[in-house]
Amino acid sequence: MASDTICANCGEEERLKGERHGETITITCEQCGLVWDRDLTPRCPTCGSTDVRAAFQSVLEKSRGTQLSIQSMRLIHLCPTCDADRLAVYIKSNTPLPPDELPVTPRD
């Protein structure tokens, strides 16, 4: 899994050490020594708003043949402006949202 945190000074992705302090993580790059704070407040990746709503999205796997089964759920955050349609479906259905992509069986 690729890291979503990269040192702005040297580009290091692996040798990063973090310490949590409430809603913030203080990150130290072990490569160049740069120290910065990473805010854990959920934000909309499109508009940057912190006015987001928590929702669950199902994680599906093939269990047998073409049958799909929910294996787990992940917490996502939906923006009332940018994700209005998905948020409306989630609120109305009161069930986890489907995954963005369905699992496929690779062909030989």
Q: Which residue type does 42 have?
A: P
60-67 long-range contacts, CB within 8 A, separation 24+: 60/98, 60/99, 60/102, 60/103, 61/103, 62/103, 62/105
CB 30 within 8 A of CB 16: yes
Whole-number average pLDDT of the chain: 87
pTM assigned to the model: 0.63
Whether the predicted pLDDT of 97 surpasses 50? yes
Whole-number Å distance between alpha carbons of 22 and 82:
28
Q: Which residue has tokens 């109305």? A: 92
Per residue in 3-19, pLDDT (tens digit) is 468 899 999 999 999 99
* pLDDT, position 67: 77
